[in-house]
Structure 1
Amino acid sequence: MTMTWPRGEERPVRRVLSQDLIVDTALSLLSEEGLDAVSMRRVAQALGTGAASLYAHVSNKDELRELMLDRLLGRVPLPEPEPDRWQEQIREIARKQLEVLTAYPGIARVAMETTGPTGPNALLLAEGVIAVLLGGGLSRIEAALSYELLSQWVAAFAMEAGATHTIEIRDEIERKGAQIRHYMRSRKASFPNLLGLDSLLESTSLIERYEFGLNVFLTGLPEHHQEPKGADAGSPPVTRTSPRSGGPATDSATTHCGDNGEGGQV
C-alpha cells in the first residue's frame, strides 16, 4: 500500500514576463485605480516579481503609459473609406475614440502629453482617419491638419470628462461654480451674457456637447476646403484597404504591442 503524504503549500506558477502581459496588468490597474496608481513597482507587485525584471520589456513608466494608450487605440475600428458618407465615418471613429479614452481614468492625459503618433496602432489610426478625410475631398495638407485638430480635441474632451468622475471633484466644481455665480450676480451689468448660461449648460449631457463639437468641426471642413497648391497639387491620389486587415508593422519609433499584436496613439 502506497501512502500519500500531504504536500506543503505549492508555490504559484510564475507567468513568463512579456510586454503584452505587463501592459495587460497595467491596464487592469488603470481601470481599477486610475493613472496615478500605475507604476513599474505596482505592476511588478501585481505580477509577483521585482520592478527590475520589467525593464527588459519596458524602458520606464513613460513608455509603459504610451504602450497602454497604444493598446487602447487599437480598439478603435477603422472603416474602409466611403466618400459619400465620409462625415458619418469620422463621427463613428471619434465616438469610439472618446469611448475608449473615457473608459480608463487618466489615459486621455497621456494622449494629451504624447507628441504625435508613437506606436503602430496610433499610426494606423492616423492613416485611417486621413484616408477617410481624403475620400471626402480634402487635400493632403487639409486632411493632415484636420486629423491633428480632431485628435487633440477628442483627447482634451475626454480628459475634461474624466476630471469629473469622482464625487469629490464634482462637489468641488459645484462649490466653485456657486462662488462664480454669486460674484457675477453681484455685478450683473458686467456679465449680461454669462449670467444664466450655467443652467443651460447643465441641461445638456456630455454626449450632446460632444456631438455639437463634432458637428461644428465636420460642417466647417467643406467651407475651408481649398484647391491644393504646390507639392500637394502634384501628389497622387491616396487609396488604401483597411490598415489593420493585414496586421501592423512590427517596428515603430517606440516598440509597442497592442490588441491582436498591434500598438498605437492619437
Structure 2
Amino acid sequence: MTTPAPPWQRAARSRPAKPPLTRPAKPPLSRQAVVEAAMTVLTAEGLPAMSMRRVAQELRTGPASLYAHVSNRYELEDLVYDRIVGEVPLPEPDPARWQEQLTQLMRDTLAAFARYPGAARLTLARVPFTPNSLVYLEVMLALLRAGRLSDRTASFGIDLLSLYVSATGIEDTIHLEQGPTEEAVGERFARMRGYLQSLPADRFPNVVSMAGPLLAGGGDDRFEFGLDILVRGLAATVTQAR
C-alpha cells in the first residue's frame, strides 16, 4: 500500500507546469547580417567604434563567429565602404553635360559618407574592388571619357577628385567630433580674424589686408569653389591638347 502524499504536495503536483523560459531566437549569422550590424554601429557610434568585438555584441554573439563570414576588420571596412558607395546616385553619362554630372556626383559622394560618422576615413589609402565601387569607378571613367579627356588625365583625375572629396569629408568629421555650435564657431573665427588683423602690417602686409577674405565663406562655399576649379581644370586639358 502506498503512502498518500501530504495535501500540499498533491496541490503542487496538480498545477500545470510552467513553460520553459526562452530567449528570442537570434537571426541566422551571415555576411549580410554582419554588414548590417556594422552599419548600425557606424551610424550610432562612429567609425572608431566599429570593431569586430562591437559588431559581434550587436549580433549577440562572440567575435570568433564573425570570422566565418568576414576575414578581418579591413575586409569589414571594405564591405561597409561598398555599402555606402552603393547609396550614391549614379548618372547616365551625357557628353553634353559631363562636367555638371561629374560635379553632382562628387557632391552626392560627399553627402553619402557624411551620413555615417567618420566614414570618410574609409576612403583613404584604400583601393577596393567590391561590386558597388567597381560600378562607381566605371561611371566616373565614362563621365571623364565623355569629356574626351585622355586616358592618363581621366585616370589621374579620378584620384585627384577622390582625394579632394575625402579630405573635405574628413575635415567635416573632425569639426563634428569637436562638437562646436554655430555660435561658437563664429566667435572663434572672429578671434582669429582679430588676431590676423593685429599682426605687424610691415611684416605681414598681405595677411593683415586679407584677414577678412581668408576666413570668409562656409565649408560648402569652399568645397564648391574647389570642385569647380578641379572640374574646369580637367576640362581645360582637352582644349590645351588641341
> TM-score interval w.r.t. the shorter chain?
0.7 to 0.9
Instruction: Quote the residue 1:189 is aligned against.
Output: 202
Q: Distance in 2 between matches of 1:85 and 1:129?
A: 13
Q: Percent identity?
A: 38
Paired residues in the alignment total 226
1:189 to partner: Cα distance: 2.8
Q: Distance in 2 between matches of 1:89 and 1:194?
A: 37
Report the more deviating stretch, 164-173 or 44-53.
164-173
Instruction: Quote the residue 1:207 is aligned against.
Output: 220
Give the counterpart of 1:76 among 83, 88, 105.
Answer: 88
Give the counterpart of 1:126 among 114, 117, 137.
Answer: 137
Instruction: Quote the residue 2:159 is aligned against.
Output: 148
Asked if 1 retains the 8 angstrom alpha-carbon contact of 2:110 and 2:165, the reply is: yes
Instruction: Quote the residue 2:123 is aligned against.
Output: 111
* Counterpart secondary structure, 2:91: coil
Asked if 1 retains the 8 angstrom alpha-carbon contact of 2:196 and 2:207, the reply is: no
Instruction: Considering Cα pairs closer than 8 Å and 6+ residues apart, tell me whether 1 or 2 has the greater RCO.
Output: 1
Q: Distance in 2 between matches of 1:102 and 1:201?
A: 25
The residue type equivalent to 1:158 in the other structure is G
- Please give the per-residue CA displacement for 1:151-184, whole angstroms capped at 9, x wherever unaligned: 1111111111111003556769976994796377
* Counterpart secondary structure, 1:223: helix
Instruction: Quote the residue 1:53 is aligned against.
Output: 65
TM-score by length of 2: 0.82
- Please give the per-residue CA displacement for 1:13-40, whole angstroms capped at 9, x wherever unaligned: 1111111111111111111111111100
Do the aligned partners of residues 37 and 178 (structure 1) sit closer, same or farther apart at CA in structure 2, a change above 3 Å counting? same
* Counterpart secondary structure, 1:218: helix
Q: Distance in 1 between matches of 2:224 and 2:134?
A: 25
Whether 1:223 aligns to 2:227 is no
Question: Where do 5+ consecutive residues of structure 1 fail to align?
Answer: 229-266
Question: Where do 5+ consecutive residues of structure 2 fail to align?
Answer: 1-14
Aligned ranges 1:28-47 → 2 under 5 Å = 28-47=40-59
Q: Distance in 2 between matches of 1:34 and 1:173?
A: 26
Could you say which structure has the higher helix fraction? 2
Instruction: Quote the residue 2:32 is aligned against.
Output: 20
Cα RMSD after superposing both structures: 2.8
Aligned ranges 1:60-71 → 2 under 5 Å = 60-71=72-83
Larger Rg: 2
Instruction: Quote the residue 1:95 is aligned against.
Output: 107
